[in-house]
Structure 1
């Protein structure tokens, strides 16, 4: 699937976004009657495959959840997860901002699902869907992590297609803890570890002089890690501990799998807990035969579905190709861009993202229109934000992980609604 040229993928997206629609829904075989263990809901759901390459038998899997209210008048939001190779269905839809979360043998409502805001949500299993009524529908593209590569490139190609024929009414993109520039993003990890007490002064010095993280990753992908980098990384790994989730350094791990995404008690709402083992539960739920049947899904070439897969053939060295320059092109074309960061993520720390956005604003000659300030969710600080030229924004989500809608769902929803509405984040309560 990932050997498809980007232009071919973008064309597939064009068909996907033009054919499904909520007035004339997708074919009946895409309609989900009811997911096993699902509570009653009023909105419609669709899922299934769209063939993108008959000759090589390639197809894209999608899950589409209508907005809860007035779906016909709401914009379309395309959500992409990163990895590369991680599932927008299993991670995004069922662990972050979709309408349901797995619990026990069934599903529970996600009270902060983004389809409760003002949008129709599309999740793609590592990519994209056919949607007649969406030709002129407002379209937003949102993604996190390695989607810092997917989303800007896809948006740029959409604009290129629009020069030939107006296919997309692209209104903006949002990027969460995104990979935008290899060295800046990765090398900010050392300072984050040190400032949060995860590594010693001595290790911090080695991690910033003897062998930084971008050097290590480059050597690793080239299949030849130097002895000095191996030594430094061994020390970093020992001190940070595998029992600390690097995607959220302040909270506990799911003991059944120290590699899963993690969450515990929400410190601001002590009556609300977030399942620390939601990824494990999602994997179990989506591997059930009755669930796969309800979602019209089939396992092809694998025995068991997983949240992230190495089956997809990505060129890992493409990680070094900067996409912050593409973000700059989009801003020049008048496309609003939001870069946001969960501030407890050490994988793509906020310091790198903030530096890149500020530098881009300076290069584009954008003046600060909203000085760096706090924003609120209810009566608590939700994070910090700065806006440049009313078109390029940076924001943090306080207490959030790499997957911000998972760990801070309510604050993420406030940020998302402000982004869709093109308005400022709340300044007071």
Structure 2
């Protein structure tokens, strides 16, 4: 209830003074290079942006990041060493989707705008729809006999995995599902991949170690392993006992 109230206040611009003070304080204390969607990730130095930027996100501090004219070569050169992850994917995706040959191949037409962007003012969404819960949709799928996997990157501060775990656990209790696999670790290539719990062999929750909000982008190898195991209908490999 409190989270819903705060969301509504943020969207309508009627937040409590205390919330405004905290938000401003966060804007001062957080470094400009901090990516809330991947707290251990780098940002693209040619644009100073997160891998995923959502303008107007209700509780995101208004970081003042200076943006210079992007250098394509600088964007191409900047990658993360661990899994060769490109931290400038947003910038380069925008450049790619604004190419005339790409737009023609996709039969895409620019209507009301001069170039493609991730977000624009042409399509307006009712932000109050953020208050509408979707966990019941997951419940209806499970009740229909459809296997469901809910996963979270453990480095995502925007939608923390703890909240996702609480929602899934509450849904399982509501549906009368018992834990068939207790909360335990899973491994990938003999390395700790994350945590998982399974309810009734039909509802699975899992975290992906080292992944941010965009798990397949920030931890592609573990994300693929998790997805492949789920599609196969098998259980995630557990860590070997000490």
Question: Which range, TM-score by smaller chain?
Answer: 0.7 to 0.9
Partner of 1:234: 24
Matching of residues 85-234 of structure 1 within 5 Å: 215-234=5-24
Between the aligned partners of 2:119 and 2:209, the Cα distance in structure 1 is 26
Between the aligned partners of 2:3 and 2:173, the Cα distance in structure 1 is 26
RMSD (CA atoms):
2.1
> How far 1:428 sits from its partner (Å)?
4.9
**Equivalent of 1:265 in 68, 75, 80:** 80
Partner of 1:350: 161
Between the aligned partners of 1:229 and 1:369, the Cα distance in structure 2 is 41
Partner of 1:392: 203
**Helix, strand or coil at the partner of 1:284:** helix
Partner of 1:409: 220
- 1:298 matched to 2:113? The reply is no
Partner of 1:167: none
**2:37–2:50 contact (8 Å) kept in structure 1:** no
Unaligned runs of 5+ in 2: 53-77
Partner of 1:72: none
Between the aligned partners of 1:377 and 1:309, the Cα distance in structure 2 is 40
> How far 1:362 sits from its partner (Å)?
1.3
Partner of 2:63: none
Partner of 2:123: 312
Between the aligned partners of 1:333 and 1:214, the Cα distance in structure 2 is 29
Partner of 2:133: 322
> How far 1:421 sits from its partner (Å)?
1.6
**1:248–1:346 contact (8 Å) kept in structure 2:** yes
Using structure 1 for the length normalisation, give the TM-score: 0.47
Using structure 2 for the length normalisation, give the TM-score: 0.81
- 1:248 matched to 2:38? The reply is yes
Partner of 2:98: 287
> How far 1:355 sits from its partner (Å)?
0.6
Partner of 1:381: 192
**Equivalent of 2:147 in 311, 318, 336:** 336
**Helix, strand or coil at the partner of 2:198:** strand
> How far 1:381 sits from its partner (Å)?
1.2
> How far 1:266 sits from its partner (Å)?
4.8
Q: Residues 250, 354 of structure 1: CA spacing in aligned structure 2 closer, same or farther, 3 A cutoff?
A: same
Between the aligned partners of 2:47 and 2:155, the Cα distance in structure 1 is 20
Aligned length: 215
Between the aligned partners of 1:249 and 1:239, the Cα distance in structure 2 is 15
> How far 1:399 sits from its partner (Å)?
0.1
Between the aligned partners of 1:264 and 1:290, the Cα distance in structure 2 is 26
Partner of 1:89: none
> How far 1:216 sits from its partner (Å)?
3.9
Between the aligned partners of 1:213 and 1:244, the Cα distance in structure 2 is 24
> How far 1:220 sits from its partner (Å)?
2.0
Which structure is higher in strand share? 1
> How far 1:282 sits from its partner (Å)?
0.8
> How far 1:252 sits from its partner (Å)?
1.8
**Helix, strand or coil at the partner of 1:249:** coil
Partner of 1:275: 86
